[in-house]
Chains A and B, each alone.
Chain A
Amino acid sequence: MVRKSLLKCTGFLLTAVLTASMLTACGSNTDSGSTTATDNGTTASNDTDNGETQEINVMIWDRGSSAPGTSNEENEMTKWIQEQVLEACNVKVNFVAVPRSGSDDKLNVMMAGGNAPDIVFSYNQSIFSNFASNGGLADLTDAYAKYGTDIQTNIGNIQYMGVVDNKQYAIMKRRGQQVPRHVSYIRKDWLDALGLSIPKTKEELFTVLEAFKEKNPGNVSDVVPWAMGGSTDTEKFYLSFVGSYVAELSEEDAYVYAENYKVFADGAIDGLKKLNELYNKGLITQDFATDTTTDIFKQDVSAGNAGFILADATEIFDLIPTLQSSVDGAEFVPLNCFDTPEGEYINPTEPLYGMYVMVPKTSESKADACVKYLNWLSDATNAENVMYTPEHTLDSAGVPVSMLQDELNEKGYPGNIADYNIVNDHFSFVDNKDSVVDQWANTYNFLSTDWFNSLYTVMNTNQYLYPTYPVVLESETTYGAKLSTMAIEYAYKLISCKSDEFDSLQQSEYKKLVTAGLETVLNDRRAYYEQNVAKK
């Protein structure tokens, strides 16, 4: 019975698949041939020089923060941009909302479907390189040369990252203020209670951690001298520390062991071993590896159990008000104490470039109009008006005052106006210490200007940029994503294993990484450097 029906079934299936394949075969022609014009109902002409207005659709992130009765596609901000750009560039700008969470997934699907907006963007380098090398993007080289003069003057230095095969496939967005990836903080009130000063070296830090453990200066039920979490998508809990055991790298090695690969550079194992020692002394959160959501980490910090932490640069702003309300006089202060073998500090920062702003192949005919719009946005005055609304005010130091969401919504702007500013975040004031401190102190009034002054100093001590090149190697595409998770797991396992198992575990875990492609990637990076950078 079953077999018979299965046979019949196969027959039916075949017919169904055949019919369907004919259907798609017909459909696919139109899919790849048609441009977005039909989908979005626009009627733009291809000719730019006869004064006809061109119409473009620009992706905008939606974070569900629109003012009542408005949307991210239509609000006071979009109206203003439309008017300005129409006047300045004779381009009419429409917006297409894409939910911020899931944006990359949606972008992949829209690009495959041939109905992506005319300007799209992503922070993900593999997405960009995948689109560019598979012929999914419009070549912006000519348009950039012709209409991108402001981009060239304002942020030309980072545009090399958008080049693939000598063609400009993306306009790079410039990030704003340059901050280190991770910053360490310590409980000043605990130090004061013990009569200790802020540690300046790792050795001093170890002494302090031991003292925190033994004397429990905060008198808390469960003291955690060094609090860590266990999320497998960030190296923040250990990388700065481990990295400080690595001697200064040459440019070549710095590229090979950039960012998350640094945990494999010479010397890094000593750092991991030290963390393992601290862990086994009970100085580090004992079950940090299971705290994948970092909820317990945040609890330890904000309930006042943690003495020392490593965190994303400004993450702590969110936790401090809670800490202040739960423990009287509790104070976390930023510090640099990871001295390198050279006796210095090193603060790796994010690269200067941020997003990849791209024009899909299907919108090739609008490349000029798109670049005109991006060029308009790269102008500092325009960018400031978009980022802070056209009706923004300046404070005494000349720094634009940012409005909170409620105020923005009241005026008809969405809460995420900053998302409209997709080209240039680099305002002149972000390089000025007083302005930055001023802006912080105004926004986060629970901390003093002095506190922010010292934060700025800590953050700007020996900032370090890894060398970057506009390439995603094939082996990185294949192994990269898995390797970066495995590298974090490697570190967590080594930190939390028994001391006598450290060496054997290190060897077996490293072997796993090699099987997963680690050495292939490192070798390919070295080969790329030698062939493409060193020779020039």
Chain B
Amino acid sequence: MREKSDTAIQKNIGKKKKKVAAKTYIRNNYQLYMMLVLPVIYLILFKYKPMIGVVAAFKNYNVFRGVWGSPWTGLSHFKEAFASNDFWMALKNTLILNVGDIIISFPIPIILALFLYELNSKVIKKSTQVILYLPYFFSWVIIAGIVNQLCSNGGMINNIITAFGGKSINFLTVPWMWQAVYWISGLWQGAGYGLIIYLAALSGADPSLGEAAYIDGAGRFKRIWYVTIPQIKGTISVMLIMKLGQVVSIGFDRPYMMSNTLVKSVSDVISTYVYSVGLQSARFDFATAVGLFQSVVGVLLLLIVNAMAKKFGEEGVI
């Protein structure tokens, strides 16, 4: 509601300006374009110029002849990927692991940030931020090592289970349990990163609104729901759009390091597929082709989600 009236005001002012001071307006915009000069040069030279490399997806790429010197092969790399069962299984697993990640790791940092924001104790507040951020520095090799130690037959978790008379469980060999371990370790590693973003968003929010609600006698949870959340809604929506847009992409290290022989049916994902079929044998063209497929799907998803967000009156990323 507030936002809408804001844009209305802005439009009104904009109209007035156009009439009254068109010159000033142009001059102001000119300055905005000046600001964009460096970033756009960067964008072209360092992001779009090397993008020619994507052509390798349609070539039989020979590194010594370069992208242009290599012969065309049309869609053969794509056909190879799409004809393989492994590819589709990897795609399915990628989606499952990513969606699970979003369900678990997306809301929790928001909840943590909201509660931490409400907390009075400065000591807990400050130390929580630092502590939850620490796992972000752990590489997946290390995390995989820790997880193996914790979850193995003689590991800490099973020691606790057996101490209470339970039977030890091998978490890492049962596919669904492995997935749970995968998601939880992702939460452990990434929660602090998200927390900081939302805390920064909350710090930018206007506390006087919350205080006003206090005086109105609104309860704490009501206040969080009706006053605090709407203030960081924009950030939440942007973060969610970006997450959903990347639901077909997956990093290499995490599934590769955490996986083991017995859970391959759920842990083989696109990045590990590309690694085993393409990169290990230096087939950069094949790897590029699969990467291109991921990019196109990712962009389509992004556009859909972005359009939906805008329909609901949220801020999009584009």
Contact = CB atoms under 8 A, between A and B. Distances in A.
A17 B281 contact: no
Q: How large is the interface on A (under 10, 10 to 19, 20 to 34, 35 or more residues)?
A: 35 or more
Contacts of A31: 66
A135 B64 contact: yes
Given A17-B51, A496-B262, A289 B173 contact: yes
Interface in B287-310: 303, 306-307, 310
Nearest to B276: A482
A101 B48 CA distance: 30
A493 interface: yes
Contact of B262 (A32, A488, A492, A515): A492
Interface string B25-51: 000000000000000000010001111
Interface stretch (B114-122, B130-138, B145-153, B234-242): B145-153
B261 A477 contact: no
Given A287-B170, A295-B145, A6 B303 contact: yes
Given A2-B307, A481-B276, A290 B52 contact: no
B282 A287 contact: no
A134 B63 contact: yes
Interface in A335-372: 361
Given A2-B306, A230-B260, A488-B261, A361 B64 contact: yes
A515 B85 contact: yes
A290 B64 contact: no
A497 to B, nearest CB: 9
Interface string A506-518: 0000000001100
B285 to A, nearest CB: 12
A493 B152 contact: no
Interface residues of B, number: 45
A198 interface: no
A403 interface: no
A1 B309 CA distance: 13
B276 to A, nearest CB: 4
B48 A16 contact: yes
B82 interface: no
Interface in A193-219: none
A489 B272 CA distance: 15
Contacts of B303: 2, 6
22 contacts: A5-B318, A20-B50, A28-B68, A32-B66, A127-B282, A130-B282, A134-B65, A135-B62, A135-B64, A136-B63, A287-B152, A289-B260, A290-B170, A290-B260, A292-B144, A295-B145, A296-B148, A361-B64, A480-B281, A482-B277, A485-B276, A496-B262
Interface of B: 44, 48-52, 62-69, 85-86, 141, 144-145, 148-149, 151-154, 170, 172-173, 257, 259-262, 264, 276-277, 280-283, 303, 306-307, 310, 318
Interface of A: 1-2, 5-6, 13, 16-17, 19-21, 23-25, 28, 31-32, 108, 111-112, 126-127, 130-131, 134-136, 222, 230, 232, 286-287, 289-293, 295-296, 361, 477-478, 480-482, 485, 488-489, 492-493, 496, 515-516
Pairs of residues from A and B, 4 with the lowest C-beta to C-beta distance, nearest first:
A481-B280, A20-B49, A112-B63, A290-B172
